[in-house]
């Protein structure tokens, strides 16, 4: 039976197997129509649950009282000019209070300390809410943290000493400029991170020379012009995520993974996905596999006249590549799979604990997104981008609020942020299937549970060598979940695992620099080895993993041959890189 989009009736409405609080059940039924993502209801449920557990509430109130006593003593010492250590220190990644004035000035230090004391304690309370399921506790804590972040003293003029200082220094010009920035963003209906015209794709970004050699309704395939006289006989195909545009891997020459690989002597091909329009609402996950990955693999094989290729997938593109590898092993047999080896960049296959994004993923949330998609035929890229910004609201929202509106600073031209804002849409049918079958039901890891393009999907059938790259600060694809691919592929399949410093993007866009900015751990995980055990025995190495990956590919890259032309008679150049689809809005 072919894969289909399961209707809502085929899924349980809500799973309360972990829940013990009846208010959680009642609240969920109400919020299904009023608050499908639990923005307010999860917080109210947590508050009600604490009231129903007075003994536990008394314990945390006692701990809070202790903090208040210590804080009051700190306030008195600072008021008298007596040196005093801060009662609560900001987290290492919290830069809101990094300016010395928040510690040197008694007034501002006291404001900071009161805010941090309450927010840290309240945040812990929501994570420890008694009588609620683990997921609902995490959801309540997530949304409460968003409210607390919004209420930070740094977000208001009269409680931000830097904004006041800048106002005095500029004689009010900073606030006047800030109001202009506010009106600019109000017109755009978004707190902007970068100007829409800060860069031009094909002129400032995505500069590696190449040609579009294939195009269908879903994608363009770009072949990059060789820069070496000889190349490895096994070509490399990169399946990019269709949530954003492909040029994150080809930003500028110094940051371009594509250019790096071409300069290492590889024939590099990449997918550039079409930005879906309403008439593509019926495009399915099956279509992305058959007309996307499978077509791209066969095109590259035919272009280079080779039996097998290197295949790489990034993010959701990696999830599709994982599905394809299971599909191809079933359809063709292990010996005839047209892929010699495969690589995954920050890719989830086990969606059991997908990180903070889980706050948006339950039956109510998915139904709400399906209703939005049904009206337009797609999910707007800006809606998904807003969700990802919420995951890191301090750095991706409130920093721009403070610097743009309170300081009156112009937006900085940052290429990664420009790419991040250059979002794409998701076809209704495909995205509904993806949300339900991957995130909601976690069916990719269940043997033969999914049927894609006529074949049952079982990751255990995959025997080809795998190189997997993750990032330690990745909040979209947590590395501990990405590591679990070792558990699901064939026990005899060779696998190499890399953990890079930084996050989902910068952990991958990680070019060699001197001195090194980042580092990584690298090693072969054993079939039943836990991620923490793997990390303990692997070496922490300074620099980027790019060179190691290039060597890994080289070992499997075949002999050196004369570099092929960028296009040929069978596959003529349809456009210069970066192509046409990447420019569609």
Least confident range of 12-21, 253-262, 481-490? 12-21
Work out the average pLDDT over 432-440.
96
**Above 60 in pLDDT, residue 2?**
no
CA distance readout (Å), 572 to 214, 215, 457: 8, 11, 35
| HEC assignment per residue over 400-453 | HHHHHHHCCCCCCCCHHHHHHHCECCEEHHHHHHHHHHHHHCCHHHCCCCCEEC
Choice among 304, 315, 421, 482 that is catalytic: 315
Q: Tokens 């609902």 belong to which residue?
A: 136
Give the pLDDT confidence score for residue 40 in this predicted structure.
85
pLDDT of residue 356: 84
Residues 344-358 have pLDDT tens digits of: 999 999 999 898 888
Query: Chain-wide mean pLDDT for the chain?
Result: 91
pLDDT at 4: 43
Nearest residue to 365 via CA among 141, 43, 33, 134 = 33
Instruction: Give pLDDT tens digits for 288-326.
Output: 999 999 999 999 999 999 999 999 999 999 999 999 999
Element (H or E) spanning 371, and its range? helix 363-376
C-alpha triplet 461, 467, 470: angle, nearest 5°: 115
Question: In this predicted structure, what is the pLDDT of residue 87?
Answer: 87
**What is the share, in percent, of the chain residues with pLDDT greater than 70?**
94
Buried b (16+ CB within 10 A) or exposed e, 516-540: eebbbbbeebeeebebeebbeebee
Q: Which residues contact 409 (CB under 8 A, 6 or more apart)?
A: 177, 403
pLDDT band at 129 (very low <50, low <70, confident <90, very high): very high
Beta bridge partners of 311: 237, 342
Residue 377 gets the label, from left (phi > 0), alpha (psi -120 to 50) or beta, of left
- Identify the DSSP state of 472: T
* Residue written as token pair 């690989």: 261
Would you give the end-to-end CA distance of the chain in angstroms? 36
* pLDDT band with cut points at 50, 70 and 90 for residue 8: very low
**Catalytic status, residue 482:** no
Q: What angle do CA 4, 6, 8 make, to 5 degrees?
A: 160
Average pLDDT on 70-92 reads: 87
Strand partners, 310: 236, 341
- Is the separation of the CB atoms in 314 and 345 below 8 Å? yes
Judge whether residue 406 has pLDDT over 60.
yes
pLDDT 10s digits, 230-276: 999 999 999 999 999 999 999 999 999 999 999 999 999 999 999 99
Residues in the chain: 585
The tokens describing 480, both together, are: 């501990």
3-state secondary structure of 352: coil
Flag whether pLDDT at 17 surpasses 50: no
Run of H or E including 485: helix 485-488
Residue 84's nearest CA partner among 111, 106, 114 is 106
Cis status of the peptide bond prior to 515, with omega within 30 of 0: yes
Q: Is the pTM of this model over 0.85?
A: yes
In terms of Cβ atoms closer than 10 Å to its own Cβ (0-12, 13-18, 19+), residue 360 is buried
Of 498, 487, 151, 503, give the one whose Cα is nearest residue 356: 503
pLDDT in the model for residue 221: 98
Mean pLDDT for the stretch of residues 124-150: 91
Domains of the chain, CATH where assigned: 8-157 (no CATH), 158-189+382-423 (no CATH), 210-352+442-463+475-493+546-583 (3.40.50)
Report pLDDT for 24: 57
Short-list 236, 86, 226, 107, CA closest to 160: 107
Separation of alpha carbons 510 and 516, rounded Å: 10
Predicted pLDDT of residue 489: 97
């Amino acid at each position: 039976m072919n894969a289909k989009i399961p209707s809502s009736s085929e899924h349980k409405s809500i799973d309360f197997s972990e829940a013990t609080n009846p208010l959680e059940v009642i609240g969920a039924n109400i919020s299904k129509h009023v608050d499908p993502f639990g923005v307010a209801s999860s917080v109210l449920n947590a508050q009600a649950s604490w009231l129903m557990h007075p003994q536990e509430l008394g314990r945390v109130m006692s701990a809070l009282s202790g903090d208040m006593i210590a804080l009051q003593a700190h306030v008195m010492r600072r008021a008298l000019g007596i040196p005093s250590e801060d009662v609560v220190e900001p987290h290492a990644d919290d830069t809101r209070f990094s300016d010395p004035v928040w510690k040197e000035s008694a007034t501002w230090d006291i404001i900071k300390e009161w805010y941090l004391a309450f927010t840290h304690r309240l945040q812990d309370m929501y994570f420890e809410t008694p009588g609620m399921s683990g997921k609902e506790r995490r959801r309540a804590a997530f949304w409460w943290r968003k409210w607390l972040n919004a209420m930070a003293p740094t977000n208001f003029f009269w409680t931000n000493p830097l904004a006041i200082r800048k106002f005095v220094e500029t004689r009010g010009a900073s606030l006047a400029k800030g109001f202009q920035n506010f009106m600019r963003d109000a017109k755009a209906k978004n707190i902007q991170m970068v100007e829409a015209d800060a860069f031009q794709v094909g002129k400032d970004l995505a500069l590696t020379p190449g040609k579009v050699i294939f195009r269908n309704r879903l994608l363009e395939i770009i072949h990059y012009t060789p820069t070496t006289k000889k190349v490895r006989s096994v070509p490399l195909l990169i399946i990019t995520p269709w949530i954003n545009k492909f040029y994150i891997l080809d930003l500028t020459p110094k940051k371009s993974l594509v250019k790096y690989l071409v300069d290492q002597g590889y024939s590099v091909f990449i997918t550039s996905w079409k930005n879906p329009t309403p008439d593509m609402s019926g495009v399915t996950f099956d279509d992305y596999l058959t007309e996307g990955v499978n077509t791209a693999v066969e095109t590259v094989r035919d272009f280079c006249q080779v039996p097998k290729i290197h295949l790489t997938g990034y993010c959701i593109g990696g999830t599709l590549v994982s599905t394809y590898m299971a599909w191809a092993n079933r359809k063709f047999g292990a010996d005839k799979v047209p892929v010699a080896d495969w690589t995954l960049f920050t890719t989830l296959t086990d969606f059991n604990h997908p990180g903070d994004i889980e706050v948006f993923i339950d039956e109510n949330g998915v139904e709400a997104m399906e209703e939005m998609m049904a009206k337009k035929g797609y999910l707007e890229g800006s809606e998904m981008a807003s969700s990802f910004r919420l995951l890191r609201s301090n750095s991706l929202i409130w920093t721009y609020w403070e610097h743009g509106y309170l300081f009156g600073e112009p937006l900085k031209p940052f290429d990664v942020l420009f790419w991040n804002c250059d979002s794409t849409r998701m076809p209704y049918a495909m995205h509904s299937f993806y949300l339900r079958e991957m995130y909601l039901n976690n069916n990719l890891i269940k043997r033969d549970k999914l049927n894609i393009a006529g074949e049952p999907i079982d990751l255990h059938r995959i025997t080809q060598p795998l190189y997997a790259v993750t990032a330690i600060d990745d909040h979209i694809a947590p590395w501990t979940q990405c590591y679990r691919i070792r558990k699901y592929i064939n026990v005899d399949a060779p696998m190499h695992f890399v953990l890079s410093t930084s996050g989902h993007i910068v952990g991958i866009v990680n070019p060699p620099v001197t001195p090194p900015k980042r580092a990584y751990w690298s090693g072969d995980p054993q079939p039943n080895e836990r991620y923490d055990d793997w990390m303990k025995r692997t070496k922490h190495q300074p620099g980027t993993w790019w060179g190691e990956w290039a060597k890994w590919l080289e070992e499997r890259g075949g002999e050196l041959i004369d570099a092929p032309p960028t296009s040929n008679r069978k596959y003529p150049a349809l456009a210069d890189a970066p192509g046409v689809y990447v420019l569609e809005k």
